[in-house]
């Protein structure tokens, strides 16, 4: 739309309202208005009218000024830096053509968006675009990449019950009540019984970005059975692990072993200390001052009081672990297990376990260390209190209540082994840099060789460089894959490292995840403390 900057004398001054009315008469009310141009046109027209007032012989220069124009629907395609999402921004038409489906498809193609396009979103975008006012913007993500789903490693499924679950599952009586003292029969296996099944690794599923570039999935790793003592692979089915003798089954990572069992009524001064190559079953208590060591599991039907237990497998205590406060001294009640430690409760005890620690009632004023998970709760999640002492858990801590209403100082450290992980990552990074320097030297050697005429290049040197290049590339790819895998495990472990109270999170709890620290100074309800954005965050816990 064009305004002429000439005006007859004695006409009233032009205003914005008059121009708008003329645009409506012309059907241009939705055109895009150039505000500075309109203001300039109005100023010049009214200035010319003022100058001409009373002098009709003065010639007025007529100049055209564009003040408005018709514009079609605007379209902008944007791709996120990671190329996993593409969005479209639509700007409402200024009296021009509305957006068509073909225009939308063409715009995506021109921006090389070819994969992960959602037809449903495109249809919704078209519908909403028709309703936009002139200049109104609408942005919608229309294409979505898919992250590769990496394969899972070989999975090993136990086919016999875990002895530790016996502690956690009291038996029901005939009237439907639960007898906390009846834990059922001791778990044993017979010769020839299947102990574990091996499931093959999965290949994973490749991903892609919105530009259509495929992102390869890392296939799962094939792992072999760890054939422990008293077990053998099934000759007719290599996916099964069998027992070759009767005894107590013991989980060993990717396999099992079957231990002979030493059964005692109790351990006290009359039995002396116990050291046994196999599993030990004690159908009573372990009295103060006694020591029990076994290469397999240690199962205690009663209490452990002021005693020392060392097991290559699990330590399972039906009743509880009772120590004594020692100001400034090591706790005299100590349990060390290569597997899990499971009990009803523990107090004033020093407990370390290779796979995790679980109590159903409480853990009070203990020193606990495990690269696994520390769990203090029963199956109903109604009771389970962790209070006082020092808890060092690699994978996290979960309890019904953490701390006490009286504000008992409690220190919880999760993922304390981060330094070892970072050291290993640093070593791999240095090896990658060293291998890259080797690659640069090989490249320089190749360039130097190329300066020599073909007939004078030593064949032996050419073959040596080819072999060295292949070896270099193999080593570099291997180092990068190992670094990437370790980094991914580090990030996943850090993401899952949490301190969770499903009931109450009391004051005076000092929390540390990785190297970041936080002290909770007020009482809260269900709470989870986790690592996010290089600091610890406290958030409400939702089951």
154 versus 407: which is more confidently predicted?
A: 154
pLDDT of residue 11: 59
pLDDT of residue 461: 85
Instruction: Give mean pLDDT, residues 273-300.
Output: 92
Please work out, in degrees rounded to the nearest 5, the angle formed at the alpha carbon of residue 383 by the alpha carbons of 380 and 385: 140
The C-alpha atoms of residue 94 and residue 443 are separated, in whole angstroms, by 59
- Alpha-carbon distances of 239 from 234, 391, 476, rounded to whole Å: 7, 38, 34
- Regarding beta strands 194-199 and 155-158, do their DSSP bridges make them parallel or antiparallel, or are they unpaired? antiparallel
pLDDT in tens, 230-261: 999 999 999 999 999 888 888 888 998 888 88
pLDDT in tens, 290-320: 999 998 899 999 999 999 999 998 999 999 9
DSSP, res 268: S
155 pLDDT more than 80? yes
Closest CA to 118 of 100, 139, 144, 99: 144
pLDDT of residue 180: 45
Q: Which long-range contacts (CB under 8 A, 24 or more apart) does 199-205 make?
A: 199/154, 199/155, 199/156, 199/157, 199/239, 200/154, 200/239, 201/151, 201/152, 201/153, 201/154, 202/151, 202/152, 203/151, 204/148, 204/149, 204/150, 204/151, 204/152, 205/148, 205/149
The C-alpha atoms of residue 415 and residue 192 are separated, in whole angstroms, by 41
Beta bridge partners of 243: 231
Judge whether 257 and 238 are in contact, CB under 8 Å.
Answer: no
Judge whether 524 and 538 are in contact, CB under 8 Å.
Answer: yes
- The pLDDT > 70 percentage for the chain reads 90
DSSP, res 400: E
Judge whether 525 and 505 are in contact, CB under 8 Å.
Answer: yes
pLDDT of residue 321: 97
171 pLDDT more than 60? no
- Regarding beta strands 334-337 and 350-353, do their DSSP bridges make them parallel or antiparallel, or are they unpaired? parallel
The pTM of the full predicted model, rounded to 2 decimals, is: 0.60
470 pLDDT more than 70? yes
402 pLDDT more than 50? yes
Strands (E), 273-339: 274-276, 279-282, 291-294, 298-300, 303-305, 308-311, 315-317, 320-322, 334-337
Ranges 106-120, 170-184, 261-275: which has the least confidence: 170-184
Instruction: Give mean pLDDT, residues 77-94.
Output: 93
Instruction: Give mean pLDDT, residues 262-276.
Output: 91
Ranges 21-35, 176-190, 469-483: which has the least confidence: 176-190
pLDDT of residue 122: 93
Provide the 3-class DSSP secondary structure of residue 464. Answer: helix
Exposed e or buried b for every residue in 81-104, given b needs 16+ CB within 10 A? Answer: eebbbbbbebbbbbbbeebeeeeb
Please work out, in degrees rounded to the nearest 5, the angle formed at the alpha carbon of residue 212 by the alpha carbons of 210 and 218: 100
Judge whether 425 and 494 are in contact, CB under 8 Å.
Answer: no
The C-alpha atoms of residue 489 and residue 421 are separated, in whole angstroms, by 10
pLDDT of residue 168: 47
Estimate to the nearest angstrom the gap between the alpha carbon of 101 and the chain centroid. 38
pLDDT of residue 7: 47
N-terminal to C-terminal alpha carbon distance within the chain:
63
176 pLDDT more than 60? no
463 pLDDT more than 70? yes
Give the pLDDT band (50/70/90) at residue 179. Answer: very low
- Alpha-carbon distances of 474 from 49, 131, 328, rounded to whole Å: 84, 58, 55
Q: Write out the two tokens for 350.
A: 């020093």
- Alpha-carbon distances of 513 from 250, 365, 534, rounded to whole Å: 32, 20, 10
| Contacting residues for 454 by C-beta, under 8 A, at least 6 apart | none
Among 63-72, 357-366, 434-443, 453-462, the range with the most confident prediction by mean pLDDT is 357-366
181 pLDDT more than 50? no
The C-alpha atoms of residue 516 and residue 407 are separated, in whole angstroms, by 22
Beta bridge partners of 308: 291, 334
Instruction: Give mean pLDDT, residues 183-209.
Output: 86
460 pLDDT more than 80? yes
- The pLDDT > 90 percentage for the chain reads 55
Among 65-74, 108-117, 327-336, the range with the most confident prediction by mean pLDDT is 108-117
pLDDT of residue 317: 96
Looking up tokens 């004051």 gives 507
pLDDT in tens, 89-132: 999 988 888 889 999 999 999 999 999 999 999 999 999 999 89
């Amino acid at each position: 739309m064009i305004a002429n900057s000439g005006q007859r004398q004695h006409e009233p001054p032009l205003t914005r309202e008059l121009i708008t009315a003329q645009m409506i008469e012309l059907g241009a009310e939705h055109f895009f208005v150039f505000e500075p141009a309109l203001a300039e046109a109005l100023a010049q027209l009214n200035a010319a009218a003022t100058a001409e007032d009373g002098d009709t012989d003065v010639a007025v220069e007529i100049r055209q000024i564009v003040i408005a124009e018709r514009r079609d629907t605007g379209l902008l395609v944007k791709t996120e830096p990671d190329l996993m999402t593409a969005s479209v921004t639509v700007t409402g038409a200024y009296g021009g053509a509305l957006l068509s489906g073909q225009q939308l498809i063409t715009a995506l193609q021109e921006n090389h968006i070819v994969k992960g396009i959602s037809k449903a979103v495109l249809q919704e975008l078209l519908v909403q675009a028709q309703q936009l006012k002139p200049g109104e913007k609408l942005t919608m993500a229309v294409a979505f990449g898919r992250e590769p789903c990496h394969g899972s490693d070989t999975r090993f499924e136990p086919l016999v019950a875990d002895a530790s679950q016996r502690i956690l599952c009291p038996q029901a009586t005939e009237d439907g009540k639960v007898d906390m003292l009846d834990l059922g029969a001791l778990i044993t296996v017979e010769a020839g019984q299947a102990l574990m099944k091996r499931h093959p690794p999965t290949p994973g599923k490749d991903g892609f970005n919105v530009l259509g570039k495929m992102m390869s999935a890392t296939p799962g790793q094939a792992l072999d059975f760890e054939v422990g003592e008293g077990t053998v692979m099934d000759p007719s089915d290599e996916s099964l692990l069998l027992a070759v003798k009767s005894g107590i089954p013991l989980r060993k990572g990717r396999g099992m072993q079957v231990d002979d069992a030493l059964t005692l009524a109790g351990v006290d001064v009359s039995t002396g200390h116990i050291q046994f190559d196999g599993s030990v079953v004690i159908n009573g208590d372990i009295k103060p001052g006694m020591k029990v060591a076994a290469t397999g599991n240690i199962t205690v039907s009663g209490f452990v009081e002021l005693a020392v237990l060392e097991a290559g497998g699990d330590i399972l205590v039906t009743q509880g672990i009772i120590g004594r406060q020692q100001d400034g001294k090591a706790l005299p009640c100590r349990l060390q297990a290569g597997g899990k430690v499971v009990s009803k409760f523990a107090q004033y005890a020093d407990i370390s376990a290779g796979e995790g620690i679980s109590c159903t009632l409480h853990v009070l004023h203990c020193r606990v260390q495990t690269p696994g998970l520390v769990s203090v709760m029963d199956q109903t999640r109604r009771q389970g209190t962790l209070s006082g002492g020092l808890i060092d858990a690699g994978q996290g801590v979960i309890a019904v209540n953490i701390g006490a209403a009286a504000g008992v100082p409690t220190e919880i450290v999760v993922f304390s082994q981060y330094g070892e992980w970072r050291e290993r990552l640093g070593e791999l990074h240095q090896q990658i840099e060293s291998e890259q320097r080797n690659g640069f030297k090989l490249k320089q050697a190749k360039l130097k060789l190329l300066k020599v005429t073909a007939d004078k290049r030593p064949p032996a040197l050419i073959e040596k460089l080819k072999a060295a290049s292949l070896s270099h590339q193999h080593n570099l790819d291997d180092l990068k894959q190992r670094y990437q895998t370790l980094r991914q495990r580090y990030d996943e472990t850090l993401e899952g490292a949490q301190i969770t109270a499903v009931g109450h999170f009391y004051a005076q709890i000092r929390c540390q995840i990785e190297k970041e620290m936080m002290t909770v100074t007020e009482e809260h309800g269900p709470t989870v403390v986790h690592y996010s954005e290089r600091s610890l965050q406290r958030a409400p816990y939702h089951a």
